[in-house]
Amino acid sequence: MQDNNTENPADILKDYDEWHKQMKSSGETASPLEHPWYKSVYREIQNYPACRVLEVGCGRGGFAVWLSKKLPQFRIVGLDFSLTAIEIARESATTQESSVEFVQGDAEALPFEDAMFDLVISCECMEHVPHPPQMAREMARVLKPGGKFCLTTENYLNGMLIGWLHSWLTGRPFNSGSGVQPRENFFFFWMIRGYLRDAGLTVKTMESSHHQWLLLPRVNPAKLCTQQFKNSFARRLAFPFGRHMSYFGQKKGL
């Protein structure tokens, strides 16, 4: 079974530094809203009042910097495991005159005091950490009582199961579509919901997108995928099978 997971943290960090260098050289997207997970989070938070925000797993900082321009009432801190990603993010923030503060740190041991943030965001990060339940607990710890969270991550109750099966049978690293990453966790949406609940976080609403129905050799996966359904009834039926799941909720109050 091949799950891309390296046990040595130093090796994982080195691999992610290299991965971010490669991703930067391949070019950045024009807008974060090209990605369904960022679109869902922005739709949720765009009318939130002024607050202190943490983005866990900010990568090269594109979403945090973009948010700081769109929602200037937010005081945003971006955190990532990779120093290379943070250096790229800081360079981008300087170039774009953004006030986002970028910090290197571990999602499973956040370098912040308890109850520091009103809102915690994490997009497509949890599938790449060694212990997802611990990341959920850390998100809850740094949130103020009643504070809100937005989490997006993978859900493989869809055609991507074929990709995982191929990986397991051949022993080749799993490629989710954005290149092979040093660590890739296998998730179903109810697993994530359970991690959040056990951490003391209440999921209020969920949203799914990118319904990958099938994977076939030499066929562009986009031809076998429905990004989102316009009909509300079809969206409800297809909900469990979305590849990208968004979870919105809050920490229990005092």
Cβ–Cβ < 8 Å for 224, 214: yes
Closest CA to 85 of 114, 64, 105, 60: 60
User: CA-CA distances (angstroms) from residue 29 to 63, 66, 70?
Assistant: 10, 12, 17
Query: What is the number of residues in the chain?
Result: 254
Task: Retrieve residue 193's tokens.
Answer: 């919901």
pLDDT at res. 205: 97
DSSP E strand stretches across the chain: 51-56, 74-80, 101-104, 117-123, 143-154, 201-209, 211-212, 225-226, 244-251
Closest CA to 214 of 152, 153, 165: 165
pTM of this prediction?
0.91
Question: DSSP letter string over 142-170?
Answer: HEEEEEEEEEEEE--SSTHHHHHHHHHHH
pLDDT at res. 180: 82
Beta bridge partners of 202: 250
Rounded to whole angstroms, the Cα distance separating 121 from 200 reads 16
User: CA-CA distances (angstroms) from residue 155 to 115, 152, 246?
Assistant: 29, 10, 10
Cβ–Cβ < 8 Å for 122, 151: yes
Rounded to whole angstroms, the Cα distance separating 78 from 117 reads 12
Rounded to whole angstroms, the Cα distance separating 77 from 56 reads 9
Rounded to whole angstroms, the Cα distance separating 188 from 183 reads 17
pLDDT in tens, the chain (254 residues): 345 665 666 777 777 777 676 766 555 666 899 999 999 999 999 999 999 999 999 999 999 999 999 999 999 999 999 999 999 999 999 999 999 999 999 999 999 999 999 999 999 999 999 999 999 999 999 999 999 999 999 999 999 999 999 999 999 989 887 778 888 999 999 999 999 999 999 999 999 999 999 999 888 888 999 999 999 999 999 999 999 999 999 998 76
The CATH H-level superfamily of 9-156+184-209+243-251 is: Vaccinia Virus protein VP39 (3.40.50.150)
| Domain extents in the chain | 9-156+184-209+243-251
What spatial distance separates the first Cα and last Cα of the chain, rounded to whole Å? 44
